[in-house]
Structure formats: structure tokens, C-alpha cells
Chains A and B, each alone.
Chain A
Amino acid sequence: SQQGEEDPQALSIQEGENATMNCSYKTSINNLQWYRQNSGRGLVHLILIRSNEREKHSGRLRVTLDTSKKSSSLLITASRAADTASYFCATDPGTASKLTFGTGTRLQVTL
């Protein structure tokens, strides 16, 4: 079963614009992570935010977490064509258990 639901399912923007994708989840978490997947490839870890953090930055990425609303958002600033990929949030309950992934947002960045 999938823990998270991502919104929107698909997003198309032009190079240089910002992309925002949202993730909602159902149960309590220890941390929430974002991964990127290029077509037909494995997932690559982007950023991790812990349950006691509200915002985190890494390069052009900005992640926010609202545990009261059980939601997170990923912002990619100044997007590039190379950012075209699917983005997944994943929740970690923190009991040495597994990550549970959302349904993903497909991002298309055009020139």
C-alpha cells in the first residue's frame, strides 16, 4: 500500500520556472524523504527532513514539513530540462522499518 499521495500527478513547466509538488501522508513519521526517478531507472535520494524540522534546503531544493497537517512540499527553483523526472515522497516510521512511497509527481521541464 502507498502511504503518501502526491499532488499534482503531473506538472509541466518551462525552464527557469519554479516547480512545487506536495505530499500528504497518513500516519506518524520519524522523517520524510524525497526521491527522484528518471524514466526506467532506480530512485535517487534528494533530501531528508526529520519530524522535528519544518524546513530544509539543499542547493535548488527546498522542503517543508507540516506534521500537524501530515503534509510536505518540495520546491525546485530555477528548473532545468535535466530536472525532468518523477519525484516521490517517502515516509519513515522510524522503527527500523521500511520506507513507504507515495504515488509520485511527473515533472516535465521544457526549453
Chain B
Amino acid sequence: DTGVSQDPRHKITKRGQNVTFRCDPISEHNRLYWYRQTLGQGPEFLTYFQNEAQLEKSRLLSDRFSAERPKGSFSTLEIQRTEQGDSAMYLCASSFQEEKLFFGSGTQLSVL
């Protein structure tokens, strides 16, 4: 058990490009969450999976955002046609039938 792993740690991209982030949760954790955090703010919920089912999506998750968890293990978050406003820290968290979340170190996205 090495904790929640996120890749990459940092991503710099040009406006209009697509980016994909990966999250590997703690093994046997059935719940996986994506949050977005901007400087000086708390994390904002994006989406949530229980096993492979995406159960909830925030209004923040526009059509340009898509998340998958194909086999109920790792998850990917893709942002298409990135905009400067997408610049943020993208945090992944997992849990298993308990309320507390275990967070990864995040992926810092900078859109130029």
C-alpha cells in the first residue's frame, strides 16, 4: 500500500491542447474522487466513482472534461481544448467504506 498516486505531478500545456491525468488509488478502495483546487481556495468537487460507475458529476465538469475508471481501479481525467481557466491543481482521492479520504499529491496544470 503506497498511497494514492497521481501522474504527472506537473503539466504545462498550450491553450487548446488536450491533457490527461492518471490516478492510482489505494488498492481495494472502491471509491475514487476528483477535485480541483485553485490558489488560496479549498478543493472543489468534480466527480466521483464507486467501482467503475461514475455516480456524480459537478456542474464544474463541463463537456470538455471526461473521467473514466474502466476496471474500477485506476482513473483518468481528460480535459479537451484546454483554457487558461483550467489552470489548477487536480487532486484525486480514494476511500473504502469509510468516510475519510486519502489524497494523492495532485497534478498541477498550467495552461499557457
| Interface residues of A, Cβ cutoff 8 Å to B | 1-2, 4, 30-31, 33, 35, 40-45, 48, 88, 90, 92, 96-104
Contacts and interface: CB of A to CB of B under 8 A. Distances in A.
B60 to A, nearest CB: 9
16 contacts: A1-B44, A2-B44, A40-B89, A42-B93, A42-B103, A43-B93, A43-B101, A44-B103, A92-B99, A97-B48, A99-B33, A99-B45, A101-B35, A104-B40, A104-B41, A104-B42
Grouping DSSP codes into helix (H, G, I), strand (E, B) and loop, the B interface class, with mixed when no group exceeds half, is strand
Interface string B92-112: 010000011111111010000
Contacts of B76: none
B43 interface: yes
Given A98-B33, A98-B56, A43 B43 contact: yes
